[in-house]
Amino acid sequence: MSALEEAIKKARALSCWADPQDIEPLEGGITNVNLTLKDQGRKYVVRFGDDIPEHGVMRFNELAISRAAAAAGISPAVHHAEAGILVLEFEEATALSEADLHDQGTLVDVTRLVARAHREVTVLARGPIMTFWVFHVLRDYCGFLSARNSPHIQKLPQLMQEAERLEKAVGKIDLVLGHNDLLPANILRGEDRYWLVDWEYGGFNSPLFDLGGLATNCVLPDEAERLMLKTYIGREPDTRLMQSYGAMKCASLLRETMWSMVSELTSFIDFDYLTYTETNLERYRRAYERL
């Protein structure tokens, strides 16, 4: 039985259904297996995923933040949860692409959604919530890659020296509950609203990490970045903020690069992690050289 067949079998057997029908794979994930399913006239998303300690992904944390984000009206409602499985209500929406965020109106709307998430999900979250400090993540990735004799091991000393410089350049931060994985595919556009989905990397962090991640994942030009920052803070960003933001943007790119390096060794998802590593390392190098 294939992994997809096994997932479909488990999804059909969940106790939350009366008459599950039309189970289909949902494409696009690079960490989890996702399905859609209909039951009694409603459609749902079934997400499969165990804890991933090497990436700091703990499903109790994802569930708690998903519920808070749903309460804020920022993410779809949680229908059911059990070990390794999260069931969400399906919303008719389309995942954004990099090109979508190059539209000024879309960028402004998404930035406002991110700001709202930082304000509202932060105060609605209940129970233990993890912290996502990117520089701890980078040090942990370095240790993991070194212990596993990664083919990228020769790159690590220089990358960690640069990470230390970036952490100092970021300076003091505000603290919010961030999404921390703002790939355009995790932002959905519905008929009259936007949604943020996939909170598995959610945790307390600087808001600049989400903004930097949004910019780098969408390859925003300089003028779009300034618009994003102005929209978020409500004024023109000053020199100090731009310095801190630039350093955090680089850290976001380095984290995505090292995430992929680790995934090369550990993931069973059918995805070209090697090319993804090379692409993000090149993006990181360009950003770091501009600091």
Say yes or no to pLDDT of 1 above 90: no
Per-residue pLDDT of 182-197, as tens digits, reads 999 999 999 999 999 9
Kindly report the pTM of this predicted structure.
Answer: 0.93
Q: What's the rounded Cα separation, in Å, for the pair 163 and 137?
A: 11
Q: Which residues of 36-74 are buried (b: 16+ CB within 10 A; e: fewer)?
A: ebbbeeeebbbbbbebbebbbbbbebbbbbbbbbbbbeb
pLDDT for 29 equals 60
Residue ranges of domains in the chain: 13-89, 94-289
Q: Does 94-289 match 13-89 at the fold level? A: no
Write the CA distances from 188 to 70, 74, 171, 195, integer angstroms.
Answer: 14, 10, 32, 5
Q: What is the CATH number of domain 94-289?
A: 3.90.1200.10
Q: What is the CATH number of domain 13-89?
A: 3.30.200.20
Give 33's pLDDT tier (boundaries 50, 70, 90). confident
Work out the average pLDDT over 9-20. Answer: 93
